[in-house]
Amino acid sequence: MKFKRHMKLEHGLRQIDIAPLIDMVFLLLIFFMLTSSFVMQPGIKVNLPKAVTSEVVKQQNIELIVSGENVIYLSGKVITMQELKSLLKQAAKREQSVLIKSDKRASLGRVVEIWDMCRDLGITQVNIATNQE
């Protein structure tokens, strides 16, 4: 037994209007594009100098970062010169090398001070990170 209201729906609905569906898809697309662009990556911003003759270092290093404001970082934490000296003494005993990642705007004096401290403590392998061009 068929009712009239069901028959009217069966015969009257030949096509489905997908315009609202397309509108929702575009709104979701715009929403996700806008929200994903505001995700910030944590880290220390360092603009490395460029060098043509740089080489890739493949051994385990102690990575020191010198920011543009001459602040020294180790593993994302600010470190003082006294803490750095004790850390470098331990690295010299293990015969580890040091990699200095210095910003372009960092003082050359700060980099030379770290380099001199490394050599004074017996670390012979000191590298400076650059962008290869």
Which tens digits make up the pLDDT trace of 17-29? 888 899 999 999 9
User: Across residues 70-94, what is the average pLDDT?
Assistant: 87
Query: Are the C-beta atoms of 108 and 32 separated by less than 8 Å?
Result: no
Q: How far apart are CA 118 and CA 91, in angstroms?
A: 9
pLDDT at 133: 61
pTM: 0.58
Is the pLDDT at 39 greater than 80? The verdict is: no
CA distance readout (Å), 58 to 33, 52, 98, 114, 122: 37, 18, 12, 21, 21
Q: Please state, for a pLDDT cut of 90, what percent of the chain lies above it.
A: 7
User: Across residues 48-71, what is the average pLDDT?
Assistant: 74
Hey, what are 40's tokens? 């910030």
